[in-house]
Amino acid sequence: MSAVVARAGGVFWLPVVLAVIAFVLIGVPSSWLTLTVAGLSMGLMIFLMASGLSLVFGLMDVLNFGHSAFVSFGAFVSASTLAALSGWLTSGSLTLEVLALALALGAAVAFGLGAGWAFERVIVKPVYADHLRQILITMGALIVADEVILATWGGVPLAVPRPSFLEGAVIIGDSSIEVYRLFAVAVGVVVYLGLYLMLNRTRMGLLIRAGVENREMVEALGFRVDRLFVLVFMLGSALAGLGGAMWAGYQTLITPDLGAEILVIVFIVVIIGGLGSIQGTLLGAIIVGLMQNYVGFLAPKLSLASNMILMMAILLWRPNGLAPAAK
């Protein structure tokens, strides 16, 4: 029985099970559809933010508590870019709007790449393989980054303009689905596929996966895992920035507290999914996204605690997460 379940995908059916249970509990198909799409889009945005953290940990055993700083910076950088290009957004020309959005997301990604490189060289490199100091130092970096955001953008909430082609909703049957959510799902899926192909079809991906599984062996074969690690760290930071930028557009109003809220959700996701694997992170992110939306609808008071309870339950069942990387 369990072998059959495992062959058919095993734990990867959990989101489907969750959706079916929710369908029964909610009972109204149109609300269910809206909530499911909302959950999926939220899950995929969280996936963007969490995947980098998970890979970085898997490859180098480095846990970056400052990861959420990239998310916050991504959100604020893209919001500022969009605000600066607001003329293009109101020009009514679709080309200019797409260009503005692309520039905003690109700015967040570029910032993530640059800041990720600097962060890895200055903050993380001196403390490889020393977990205690890693936690302390990245925590210190998070404090500094939050203060820099406060100093740069001030403590007031910042409104994020959206291109008009992402405004509004699609009506399917009785349920209305926000276009932005579909857009977020699309971006998430594209990034996931990109990561999947990169990890499974390229030489670099092969090295990364091998490094996650057994770093010493890859190093013994003559590959510089630490150089590879810088690239992975930059990629992870860039994805966090992209996730932050998407999240900013989703929230439309962002405050400097954004990073701290996200950090907790991202941690829960990587713990649930299992550290070091992209599939696990995607699974964890979708489960958390769906859970948050379903519970938020069924029992609003419980919505925050629900993810915590979920994490506790999964840890009791599988102490290493649902689908950790093979070690």
Partner 1 sequence: MKKGTLTVKAAALVIWALLLFAPFLFQDVRQIEVAARIAVFIVLVASYDLLIGYTGIVSFAHTMFFGVGAYGVAIALKHMGAGWGPVLLGTAGGVVVTALLAVAIGLLSLRVKAIFFAMITLAAASVVLVLASQLSGITGGEDGMTYKVPELFKPATKLFTDEAGKVVRLWGVQMNGKLAAYYFVFVIAAVLFWAMLRIVGSPLGTVLKAIRENEGRAEGIGYRVVAYRTAVFVIAAVTAALAGSAYALWLKYTGPETVLSFGIMIDILLMVVIGGMGTMWGAVIGATALVMAQYYLRDLMEVAAGATAELPLLPELLNPERWLLWLGIIFILLVYFFPAGIAGTIIDKGDRKAGA
Q: Which residues bind partner 1 (CB under 8 A)?
A: 57, 63, 65, 123, 126-127, 131-133, 135-137, 139-141, 143-144, 147-148, 150-151, 260, 263-264, 267-268, 270-271, 301, 304-305, 308, 311-312, 315-316, 319-320
Q: How far is the CB of 291 from partner 1 (least distance, A)?
A: 14
**Closer to partner 1 at the Cβ: 282 or 310?**
310
Shortest Cβ distance from residue 228 to partner 1 (Å)? 21
**C-beta of 17 vs 144, nearer to partner 1:** 144
Nearer to partner 1, 242 or 263 (CB): 263
Please choose, from the candidates 313, 244, 321, 247, the residue with its C-alpha nearest in 3D space to the C-alpha of residue 282: 321
Which of 279, 267, 218 has its CA nearest to residue 60?
218
Q: Between 107 and 232, whose beta carbon lies closer to partner 1?
A: 232
Angle, helix 278-298 to helix 258-273, in steps of 10 degrees: 120
Give the shortest CB-143-to-partner 1 separation in angstroms.
4
Kindly tell me which of 221 and 317 has the beta carbon lying closer to partner 1: 317
Q: Which is nearer to partner 1, 18 or 62 (CB)?
A: 62
Q: Compute the least distance from the CB of residue 267 to partner 1, in Å.
A: 4
User: 3-state class of 62 per DSSP?
Assistant: coil
Q: What is the DSSP string of 172-230?
A: ETTEEEEHHHHHHHHHHHHHHHHHHHHHHHSHHHHHHHHHHH-HHHHHHTT--HHHHHH
CB 198 within 8 A of CB 204: yes
Q: Toward partner 1, which CB reaches closer, 126 or 168? A: 126
Residue with structure tokens 């291109």? 163
Strand, coil or helix: 158 = strand
CA distance 270 to 68: 13
Return the H-helix or E-strand segment holding 171.
Answer: strand 169-172
> What is the nearest approach in angstroms of partner 1 to the Cβ of residue 322?
14
Tokens representing 249? 């557009």
Question: What minimum distance in Å lies between the beta carbon of 74 and partner 1?
Answer: 20
Rounded least distance, CB 313 to partner 1, Å: 10
Q: 157: closest CA among 88, 256, 229? A: 256
